[in-house]
Amino acid sequence: MNSPNALPDPLTPVGADAISRFRLDGKVAIVTGGTRGIGLSIATTFARAGARVMVSSRKAEHVEAVVRALRAEGHDVLGLASNMGKAADAHELAARTVEHFDGIDIIVNNAATNPIFGPLQTATDEAFDKIFSVNVKGPFELCKTAHSVMVERGGGAIVNISSIGGITPEAGLGLYSMSKSALVSLTKVMAQEWGADGIRANVICPGLIKTKFSSALWQDHAIADKVLGHQPLRRIGVPDDVAGLALFLASDASAYCTGSVYMVDGGYLS
């Protein structure tokens, strides 16, 4: 006779079975902005977790270098130079992934741009259009195009990379913060509308991460000291800090998670 305190059967598998839920064996993943910083760490982590990965970035030579390095480790990886600010490139990225890998299971929208720094009144229409085209419309076009493919495979996982600026606007980064806030909202809309299709969508908001993209911030000692003086974990983040969470959200380990916003900021917004 079972003890009245015994766990129900669905909860009893632990150990090796639980760990295996973090694996991505056989899954097909697209990682945009996947040749440096956070995107490179995510693409590498996913490949090492067993995923077949399509690496996308704007510069072909950078894509080719990453593909060579990951293939040298024995991973099934393909690359495509894409400008996520162009809808046609986003559509081609989805089509080429399906053509080569026969499907799409995971999308990580990491590609982003921020060509300006300063107050809103100095922002140009050109800067506005570029930032929103890459940071918001690109993810929208890619995911919308991949939706039917994911549905045919029984569902999938979308991981959007936003920023703490998408939660609390950052000084001098007004348009960027606005675009990242829009990406948070887009994630929640996709989670609500596509959940019945088995597609989960979650968003990660990194704080100060040591990448080339954010070098103007962490290389400025006054800015870095101000950030570190405010956050509980007194260090600047590294790309792998984000990749670990991305792996969780892309894997079956997070099967009951969708529409959520996750901070990777050392507690800065706590």
Q: Which residues are catalytic?
A: 176
210 three-class SS? coil
Contact assessment for residue 50 and residue 23, using Cβ atoms and an 8 Å cutoff? yes
Contact assessment for residue 261 and residue 167, using Cβ atoms and an 8 Å cutoff? yes
Could you give the count of Cα atoms lying within 13 Å of 173 in the half-sphere of its Cβ? 19
Distance CA 148, CA 87 (A): 17
> Which are the contacts of 221, defined by CB distance < 8 A and separation ≥ 6?
none
List Cα–Cα distances, 172 to 119, 230, 242, in angstroms: 5, 18, 24
Distance CA 206, CA 220 (A): 18
- Decide: residue 218, CB within 10 A, 0-12 exposed, 13-18 middle, 19+ buried: middle
Separation of CA 65 from chain center: 21
Contact assessment for residue 247 and residue 45, using Cβ atoms and an 8 Å cutoff? yes
